[in-house]
Chain A
Amino acid sequence: MNPFIKVSGLSYQYDDVEESNNKAPILNNVSLEINEGEFVAVLGHNGSGKSTFAKLLNMILIPTEGEILINGKNICDPDMTDDDVLELRKNIGMVFQNPDNQLVATIVEDDVAFGPENLGIAPDEIRKRVDDALRDVGMSEYAHHEPHRLSGGQKQRVAIAGIMAMMPRCIIFDESTAMLDPMGRKEVMNSIVRLNREKNITVIMITHYMEEAAMADRIVVIDDGRIILDGTPFDVFEEEELLKSCGLNVPQSTALVHLLQNDGLNIDGKCVGLEECADAIAALILKEV
């Protein structure tokens, strides 16, 4: 099977660089493949090139070098017509950091309908898509509410429903939980996981929260425009020193496990999540007692 997204030799440099600015490319010869249905977290410090990468995938930006194949089609082909671009963009939706910048209508269900209306979908079909999308993010009962009166987590879930209603095969989340309180973050993370597991939507999630990245199938770490780590959350978080040297960290539970392992304690299992870590540490303590 061909990968859903295939990136090869991708470089990007902002072309309005003046003398005073750093001339180093934002992305430097990046290659990677993402399969349909994968849940990939992208980590990197501020200015590492993560958001640029996301904008390239969605054709908001055009690469300086290299190519991006989505579903086998080269999205960097200069001969593409506007219609082709539109068709390809339908594949990949994007949810941004601040939901207030992404909500346009005065009623929740109108907002969710905005995307499919612009795609020229028939009204009956729009009705169905809006209802399905709101149900998928657990916001059906708010269909007739005003978006600005919702909590941050609720607003962000409406923004996700708005993308879902366009039926993309992949959704990119660009720090979509950064402005939310703990409950809001949990709500949005649950929605993201469900979309991935139940609807088989490919998820690319950019985040600064290590415990959110731990919920993905795979973590890609970008530093100064290059991919420096790519693997399962367990494998990536094993590299605590490397992560810290590029401005990142590991989840608190992993940091604790590493401290204990450094003391020579034998902790079983590839634990990453809270429950797994609790199992492993409890086993250690209870065995000794």
Chain B
Amino acid sequence: MSEIVLENVSFYHGKDTPYEIKALKNINLTIPSGKITGLIGHTGSGKSTLVQMFNGLLTPAEGRVLINGEDIWKEPKKIRNVRFRVGLVMQYPEYQLFEETIYKDIAFGPRNMRISEDEIDERVIQAAEFVGLERELLDKSPFDLSGGQKRRAAIAGIIAMRPEILVLDEPAAGLDPRGRDSIFANITEYQKKSGSTVVIVSHSMEDMAKLCDNLVVMAAGEILMSGDRATVFSEPDKLTAVGLDVPQITQLMNLLAKRGVPLAKGVYTVEQAYEFIKNNLR
């Protein structure tokens, strides 16, 4: 069980310069344990800054970051341990692959944790399996893999550290529909099997609606809303005002309501919309 709590967290870019920007403004937030939380917000809303708070890549200017009730900055010299517990997959992580083979790249994280070679091997094989990379790819150079495969390898490198909390910043950006679906299926499967806490940042409302138990909406460095899908997606006006939207299928349901069809509440996926319409035809 691993819960992240932020208490009054603020952060500034360019602090004490004429260009100072308050990127995070007194954030109070709980990321629930053992669930998939979706983080959405317009570009520049502070999502990436926020996720870098979770594993101590950035230090709050004010406030505290707690994991299971413990302040991660209590002993700043031990912050490295927090980075093993909270795995962060950054945007376009395939650009960070650097080893000669995919195997060595996935092994890099666990090796830094100073665990035995046998365990490293076991973790690499298992992580590769989790993200759907075939065994024979492990001995190849990252240059020999497609973009989607490289993305998987980079995610496997984080999973191999077996973090309690897995944070992914735009894991499906730039992938085709099948690539998106399969990466998200892998993440969901990983979450179910490991029981870990997962945070996903994405611009796709459709994907977030399908995947997430819990949603957090950021706008201009603040938390605008948080809660389950119904809480967040029942306020389309609030979302469009900050550059976001409801899933396309929910937009369609709202358009139907304008044409005199009873309003479909709680429809966020194509399957739900189908059920709703079938019920209205009887």
Question: Which of A46, A178, A249, A279 has most B Cβ within 10 Å?
Answer: A46
**Docked complex: A193-248 residues within 8 A CB-CB of B:** 208, 210-211, 244, 247-248
Q: Which of B75-83, B169-177, B226-234 contacts A (4 or more CB under 8 A)?
A: B169-177
Partner of A256, one of B44, B273, B280: B273
- In which size bucket is the chain B interface? 35 or more
Q: Which of B2-10, B100-108, B240-248 contacts A (4 or more CB under 8 A)?
A: B240-248
B217 to chain A, nearest CB (A): 12
Chain A residues contacting B178 (CB-CB under 8 Å) are: 45, 244, 247-249
Q: A45-B178, A181-B42, A211-B248 are in contact. Are A288 and B281 (CB under 8 A)?
A: yes
The 0/1 profile, CB within 8 Å of B marked 1, for residues 155-191 of chain A is: 0000000000000000000010011111111000000
Q: Which of A52-60, A116-124, A137-145, A270-278 contacts B (4 or more CB under 8 A)?
A: A270-278
Across the interface, name the chain A residue whose C-beta is closest to B47: A181
B185 within 8 A of A: no
Across the interface, name the chain B residue whose C-beta is closest to A263: B278
Q: A45-B178, A260-B277 are in contact. Are A255 and B270 (CB under 8 A)?
A: yes
The 0/1 profile, CB within 8 Å of A marked 1, for residues 238-282 of chain B is: 001001110111011001101111000000001001100110110
The 0/1 profile, CB within 8 Å of A marked 1, for residues 34-61 of chain B is: 0000000111100000000000000000
The 0/1 profile, CB within 8 Å of B marked 1, for residues 245-266 of chain A is: 0011101110110011001010
Q: A274-B248, A274-B251 are in contact. Are A151 and B42 (CB under 8 A)?
A: yes
Bound CA span A185–B206, Å: 14
Q: Is the CB of A183 within 8 A of B240?
A: yes
**Docked complex: B130-162 residues within 8 A CB-CB of A:** 140, 144, 146-148
Q: Is the CB of A46 within 8 A of B42?
A: no
Q: A151-B44, A181-B203, A183-B240 are in contact. Are A285 and B277 (CB under 8 A)?
A: yes
Q: A247-B179, A278-B252, A282-B261 are in contact. Are A252 and B247 (CB under 8 A)?
A: yes
Chain B residues contacting A249 (CB-CB under 8 Å) are: 177-178
B205 within 8 A of A: yes
Q: Is the CB of A256 within 8 A of B249?
A: yes
Q: Is the CB of B270 within 8 A of A252?
A: yes
Q: Is the CB of B177 within 8 A of A46?
A: no
Chain B residues contacting A285 (CB-CB under 8 Å) are: 256, 261, 277, 280-281
Bound CA span A277–B251, Å: 11
Chain B residues contacting A81 (CB-CB under 8 Å) are: none
Across the interface, name the chain A residue whose C-beta is closest to B282: A288
Count of interface residues, chain A, beta-carbon cutoff 8 Å:
47
Chain B residues contacting A208 (CB-CB under 8 Å) are: 174-177, 180
Chain B residues contacting A184 (CB-CB under 8 Å) are: 42-43, 243
Q: Is the CB of B270 within 8 A of A46?
A: no
Chain A residues contacting B260 (CB-CB under 8 Å) are: 282, 286
A47 within 8 A of B: yes
Q: Is the CB of B261 within 8 A of A183?
A: no
Bound CA span A181–B148, Å: 21
Q: Is the CB of A21 within 8 A of B144?
A: yes
Q: Is the CB of A175 within 8 A of B251?
A: no
Bound CA span A168–B129, Å: 48
Q: Is the CB of B251 within 8 A of A181?
A: no
Q: Is the CB of A46 within 8 A of B176?
A: yes
Q: A181-B203, A256-B273 are in contact. Are A248 and B177 (CB under 8 A)?
A: yes
Partner of A248, one of B174, B176, B205, B248: B176
Chain A residues contacting B255 (CB-CB under 8 Å) are: 274-275, 278
Q: Is the CB of A97 within 8 A of B177?
A: no
A101 within 8 A of B: no
**Residues of B at under 8 Å CB distance from A?**
41-44, 140, 144, 146-148, 173-180, 203, 205-206, 240, 243-245, 247-249, 251-252, 255-256, 258-261, 270, 273-274, 277-278, 280-281
Sampled A-B contacts (8; CB under 8 Å): A178-B173, A181-B244, A208-B174, A208-B176, A248-B176, A249-B178, A278-B259, A288-B280
Contacts A208-B174, A263-B278 supplied; 17 other A-B pairs, CB < 8 Å: A44-B176, A46-B148, A151-B243, A181-B243, A182-B205, A182-B245, A183-B240, A248-B176, A252-B248, A255-B270, A256-B249, A274-B251, A274-B255, A281-B252, A285-B281, A286-B261, A288-B280
A-B pairs, top 8 by smallest CB distance, nearest first, are A183-B243, A247-B178, A278-B255, A282-B259, A152-B43, A249-B177, A45-B176, A182-B245
